[in-house]
Amino acid sequence: MKKILFGILLVFLLIAVVGCSNTAVQKEAAVEKQMEQVQEARQVQVDKYAQFDSAIAQAKESLKSQIAKTNTVMLSKGADKGAVGEIKFTVIGIRNDKTDDHNFKVDVTFKEAYDISRNSLGADAKKMNDWKSIKNQYETFIKSGEMGFIVLYWEIGDTIALNMPTKKGSYVYKLDLQYDESENNMDPYVGIKTFTVMVQ
Over residues 114-142, the pLDDT tens digits come to 999 999 999 999 999 999 999 999 999 99
106 phi and psi angles, rounded to 5 deg: -115, 130
- Sign of CA pseudo-dihedral 196, 107, 151, 96: positive
pLDDT tens-digit series, residues 50-109: 999 999 999 999 999 888 777 799 999 888 999 999 999 999 999 999 999 999 999 999
Give the CA angle between residues 52, 93, 182 to the nearest 5°: 125
Per-residue model confidence (pLDDT) at position 38: 46
Instruction: Give me the count of residues in the chain.
Output: 200
pLDDT score at 68: 79
Specify the pLDDT at position 14: 53
Give residue limits of the domains in the chain.
Answer: 1-50, 72-199
From the DSSP assignment, how many helices (H) and strands (E) are in the chain? 3, 11
* pLDDT, the chain, mean: 85
More confident residue, 121 or 43: 121
Do residues 169 and 199 lie in contact, with contact meaning Cβ atoms separated by under 8 Å?
yes
With the CA atoms of 187, 94, 81 and 59 taken in that order, what torsion angle do they form, in degrees rounded to the nearest 10? -170
Q: What is the mean pLDDT of residues 39-49?
A: 61
User: Among 3.90.79.10, 2.60.40.10, 3.40.50.2000, 3.40.50.12370, what is the CATH number of 72-199?
Assistant: 2.60.40.10
H helices present in the chain, as ranges? 2-50, 53-69, 125-129
pTM (2 d.p.): 0.75
